[in-house]
């Protein structure tokens, strides 16, 4: 079984995800949302299903 991380160890792991990586994730989500706006309702449903599968 995996040992529980102390608060400090968790904070170190969180800091590994740098600010730029967080921004890339945010921009990726925003970009995906912008793209879905131009899709028809059927395509929009398909794109939602695809994104749900990816996460």
Entry pTM = 0.27
| Boundaries of every domain in the chain | 31-55
Model pLDDT for residues 19-37, shown as the tens digit of each residue: 777 777 777 777 776 665 5
- Taking the C-alpha atoms of residue 44 and residue 33, their distance in angstroms, rounded to an integer, is 10
User: What percent of the chain stands above pLDDT 70?
Assistant: 44
**Inter-residue contact 51 to 30 (CB < 8 Å):** no
Residue among 25, 31, 30 nearest 55 (CA): 25
Residue 43 CB partners (closer than 8 Å, separation 6+) = 36
- Taking the C-alpha atoms of residue 35 and residue 44, their distance in angstroms, rounded to an integer, is 9
């Amino acid at each position: 079984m995996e040992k529980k991380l102390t608060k400090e160890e968790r904070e170190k792991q969180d800091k590994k995800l740098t600010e730029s990586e967080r921004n890339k994730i945010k921009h990726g989500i925003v970009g995906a949302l912008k793209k879905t706006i131009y899709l028809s309702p059927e395509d929009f449903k398909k794109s939602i299903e695809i994104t749900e599968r990816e996460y």
